[in-house]
Amino acid sequence: MKLEGLAQRTRELKPSAVREILKITQLPEVISFAGGMPAPELFPVADVAQICTEILAGEIGRSALQYAVTEGFLPLREWVCGHIASFAGFRPTSEQVLITTGSQQALDLMARAFVDPGDTVLAENPAYFGAIQAFRAAETKLVGVASDAQGMLPGALEEAIQSACTPVKLLYLVPNFQNPTGATMTMERRREIAHVAARFDLPIFEDDPYGRLRFSGEEIPAICSLPEAGTATYLGTSSKILAPGLRVAWLVVRDPSLFEKIVPLKQASDLHTSAFTQQIVHGFVSDTTRFGSHLSALIAAYRERRDAMLAALGDHMPEGCTWTRPDGGMFLWVTLPESIDATHLLQHARAHKIAFVPGEPFWLDAPKRNTLRLNFSHTPAAKTGVGIARLAALIRGCS
Amino acid sequence: MKLEGLAQRTRELKPSAVREILKITQLPEVISFAGGMPAPELFPVADVAQICTEILAGEIGRSALQYAVTEGFLPLREWVCGHIASFAGFRPTSEQVLITTGSQQALDLMARAFVDPGDTVLAENPAYFGAIQAFRAAETKLVGVASDAQGMLPGALEEAIQSACTPVKLLYLVPNFQNPTGATMTMERRREIAHVAARFDLPIFEDDPYGRLRFSGEEIPAICSLPEAGTATYLGTSSKILAPGLRVAWLVVRDPSLFEKIVPLKQASDLHTSAFTQQIVHGFVSDTTRFGSHLSALIAAYRERRDAMLAALGDHMPEGCTWTRPDGGMFLWVTLPESIDATHLLQHARAHKIAFVPGEPFWLDAPKRNTLRLNFSHTPAAKTGVGIARLAALIRGCS
């Protein structure tokens, strides 16, 4: 087949530097701070096995294997409402909850629902790579808005809205422990940003994959809890609090006309999310005691890993390097001396048996090539020191 | 949020008459020939439970709950190659197999990979509704090509290609036990259609969800097995031979440049299909003896149900009605006297405690409103006679 036969619109989507990184991570003895994976040794495999047995032996067992409604498994949608109410400062109704095949599908559906080719979507700069991929697949003009340690800058947001060359359709935000920077928006900043968006009638899309993984500092209500945020859309997932291999997330669509538009899009995309994995997630999270103790164990382990990484960075990193100190989540963000390109570093990473993700693909514009992302959730704390020492040696070698 | 803020391109996707049908099917005592569901009592729930336990207790248990590669679970991709080779007349390589979240996602990915807004895709008329939804979501101009009992007419295909107003990007075909008509293309017709497509350099997309469910007649090799078909793309699924609730299908992309384009699209859509459900499907189908006897049991049960439906139609249907006699699959297609609109019939279906799908949504153009689709896989044979008698009474009441 000649490539000319294929659609123009999706030509830009290319496999990323991720391939090179994957190759490195598969080598023996490599310590990887790349990827964004939960710690597999903390997956509750025995609980999941028990839940599977219960589902398949029970009355509803056959419904778990059958076609199901597009909106999702109702008991799970109902659980989501109470779950969100318990920390986010707002309570959705189950009619507002759409179960999606992981957060990635929700990003894709939102992009397709809002964006005509060339339309503008605003996001933090740098931004989550999966969101960048979904919006680019919908031919979005993604514009990065400058941020500091407290999150997106309201003045920069206003300027970006006013200077956009095409209609601005959506403001995409990851307010808690952002991927890739680990930054968390303060309450005041959330209010300011929501206020600017409201003034320009700009819908907000709040993505909160990591919010439950807070190790330090105080819980901050979701942007969706603010009156200024109107009918902002909220995205949560089971991937970081249970298991990403199940592919179950929840999109809270509080605008009825958007919900009505997005359900047929979901139906056209994959009919519905696996009824079986939805029932597994529900089986796990609806046992409050079990879910609570699992979450506590995750938080304790990830806190230890973050602390180990922060300590090792302090011990080993060469002068001129700085890094963020996230209160939760899975990532921190390193800025190298300006002369060092992290993408070039990767070429020597293989020899140093170390993997990370260079910052470049996360930037929407004006890439700071001297940045990189480190994941701390996947590597046991005992290995972190050695890994960071290797990274420091790699950086020194390229200085 | 004002609807004006949403994308123009996806405005046309409306929830279908399916809602009304769903409401009817949920009423007590209704016999439903609507939907396209496998028989739930034939789901191998005990086997699936055992496989889940084995996966989660085993070495790879944690990988089933973790993020996974976009292309799919390699042992399943390898099994797909041998499976296809066993009946379809060609053997793909595992590098050509992409695991998708059900066939619906494969349809969506193919639409997005091939179609720029306004491009033409040709399909049988009437065509599978899920494909219509996926292509419409990509703003495709779908054009129906006339068919007879042997499948698409080569002359009509040639005419449709030559008279298309926009670039013709793809030819979508369901050659075995088509949904909705139940028709199967003869070998000769497959060759003729592939020949016409080759003359115009038109890529073929062969969708084969029902091929394994043959009750009578001889196996016919896939269109993809023909030299004329070039690098035609093939779609298979576990939904009809195991369980749709797992959402696992396989797209065989034999053109490397298409595979390279479609993998990043899949990644942007949902990262990957559930690693757990992929491993479950592999666990089930890779036990040749178990899979073989399950398939035999399915075929025997569905054959009995088809026969029961054909017998009941012969016994009860009023004069002027005709119907197809499929050699497999899950559906047959009824043509009523021209004066009867099947969509209007549905308004009285509730009172008659019977459900079916009117033909109208399946037609790409020139809808024959006096048609309807009957599913025979979901209703036990013992109930079929009563259901068809009710349908016949309903038709008589509207004549």
pLDDT tens for each residue of B289-304: 999 999 999 999 999 9
pLDDT tens-digit map of B82-136: 999 999 999 999 999 999 999 999 999 999 999 999 999 999 999 999 999 999 9
Q: How many residue pairs bridge chain A and chain B with CB atoms within 8 Å of each other?
A: 256
Q: Give the max Cα distance, chain B.
A: 64
Which residue is listed with tokens 């859309």?
A233
pTM for the full predicted model: 0.96
β-strand partners of B122: B143, B171
Half-sphere exposure of B220 (CA within 13 A, CB side): 23
Closest-CA distance, B209 to chain A, in angstroms, reads: 15
Residue showing tokens 């996926």: B134
Does any domain span residue A41? no
CA distance A324 to chain B (A): 25
Q: Do A296 and A257 share a structural domain?
A: no
**CATH number of the structural domain spanning residue B349:** 3.90.1150.10
d(CA A52, CA B245): 14
Mean pLDDT of B274-299: 98
Question: According to the model, what pLDDT value does residue A350 have?
Answer: 85
Contact residues, A window 241-260, toward B, CB-based 8 Å cutoff: 243-247, 255, 257-258, 260
| Chain B contact for A102 (CB, 8 A cutoff) | yes
A80: in domain = yes
Q: What is the ipTM of this complex?
A: 0.95
Q: Are residues A281 and A301 in the same domain?
A: no
- Which pLDDT value is given to residue A19? 66
CA dihedral B65, B66, B70, B75 (to 10 degrees): -60
Contact A136 B276 (CB under 8 A): no
Least Cα distance to A107 among A93, A77, A90, A128 occurs for A128
Q: What is the pLDDT of residue A13?
A: 47
SS3 A168: strand
Which domain does A64 fall in, by range? 47-286
Burial of B289 (0-12, 13-18, 19+ CB in 10 A): exposed
Q: Does B60 touch chain A (CB under 8 A)?
A: no
User: Which residues, in sequence order, are CB contacts of B150 under 8 Å at separation 6+?
Assistant: B183, B185, B186, B188, B189
**CATH number of the domain enclosing A121:** 3.40.640.10
Single out the residue in B264, B286, B308 at which a domain terminates.
B286
Per-residue pLDDT at B17: 66
Considering CB atoms only, which of B35, B66, B268 is closest to A108? B268
Question: Do A319 and A243 fall into the same domain?
Answer: no
User: Within a domain: residue A69?
Assistant: yes
* Chain A nearest C-alpha distance from B115 (Å): 5
Residue A6 within a domain: no
Do B282 and B296 lie in one domain? The reply is: no
Q: Is the same domain home to A150 and A246?
A: yes
CA–CA dist A280, A266 (Å, integer): 21
Beta-carbon contacts of residue B249 (< 8 Å; ≥ 6 apart): B99, B100, B101, B102, B103, B105, B106, B235, B236, B237, B238, B239
Interatomic CA distance for residues A290 and A269, integer angstroms = 33
8 A C-beta contact, residue B212 and residue B240: yes
The shortest CB-CB distance from A247 to any of B46, B245, B270 is to B270
Q: Say how far apart CA B78 and CA A76 lie, in whole Å.
A: 34
Paired residues of A31 in beta bridges: A354
- Do A369 and A334 form a contact (C-beta atoms < 8 A)? no
Instruction: Please report the sign of the dihedral spanned by the C-alpha atoms of residue A292, residue A293, residue A294, residue A297.
Output: positive
Burial A10-32 (b: 16+ CB within 10 A, else e): beebeebeeebbeebbeeeebbb
Sign of CA dihedral B12, B14, B17, B21: positive
Interface contact flag, B271 A104, Cβ < 8 Å? yes
Contact A273, A113 (CB under 8 A): no
By residue count, chain A amounts to 399
Within 8 A by CB and 6+ apart from B261, the residues are A3, A6, A10, A11, A13, B113
User: A229 and A81 in one domain?
Assistant: yes
Check whether B312 has a pLDDT greater than 50.
yes
Average pLDDT for B58-67: 89
Over its C-alpha atoms, chain A yields an Rg (Å, rounded) of 21
Which of left, alpha, beta for A42 (phi over 0: left; psi -120 to 50: alpha)? alpha
Query: Within this chain, do residues A273 and A341 fall inside the same structural domain, yes or no?
Result: no
Give the closest residue to A179 by CA, choosing from A233, A104, A114, A115: A104
A8 inside domain:
no
Suggest the residue from A271, A357, A377, A378 to mutate for an interface test with chain B (most B CBs closer than 10 A).
A271
Does A261 contact B10 at a Cβ distance shorter than 8 Å? yes
Helices (H), chain B: 18-25, 45-57, 61-65, 74-85, 102-114, 129-137, 154-163, 187-199, 256-270, 275-285, 288-316, 342-352, 381-398
- The answer to whether residue B197 sits within a structural domain is yes
Distance CA A272, CA A69 (A): 6
Residue of B50, B276, B191, B306 whose CA lies nearest to A242: B276
In a domain, B216, yes or no: yes
User: Are A139 and A219 contained in the same domain?
Assistant: yes
Task: Locate A22 and state its tokens.
Answer: 């994957």
Same domain, residue pair A119 and A66: yes
Task: Choose one of B253, B286, B319: the last residue of a domain.
Answer: B286
Phi-psi region of B304 (alpha: psi -120 to 50; beta: other; left: phi over 0): alpha
Contact between B246 and B81 under an 8 Å Cβ cutoff? The reply is no
Instruction: Establish if A225 belongs to a structural domain.
Output: yes
In this prediction, the residues of chain A whose per-residue pLDDT falls under 50 are 11-15
How many domains does the structure of chain A reveal?
Answer: 2
Q: Are A206 and A157 in contact (CB under 8 A)?
A: no
Same domain for B65 and B20: no
Same domain as B326, residue B304: yes
Residue of A nearest to B273 (CA): A247
Query: Going by C-beta distance under 8 Å and a sequence separation of 6 or more, which residues neighbour residue B28?
Result: none
Please state, as a whole number, how many other Cβ atoms lie within 10 Å of the Cβ of residue B8: 13
Alpha-carbon distance A106 to nearest alpha carbon in chain B (angstroms): 8
Strand partners, A332: A374
B255 with B328, same domain?
no
Q: Is the dihedral of CA A121, A18, A266, A117 positive or negative?
A: positive
Range of lowest pLDDT (A345-354, B15-24, B45-54, B324-333): B15-24
Q: Taking all residues of chain B, what is their mean pLDDT, rounded to a whole number?
A: 94
Q: What is the mean pLDDT of residues B338-349?
A: 92
CB B3 within 8 A of CB A231: no
Q: Is the Cβ pair B65, A45 closer than 8 Å?
A: yes
Single residue among A237, A263, A286 that ends a domain in this structure: A286
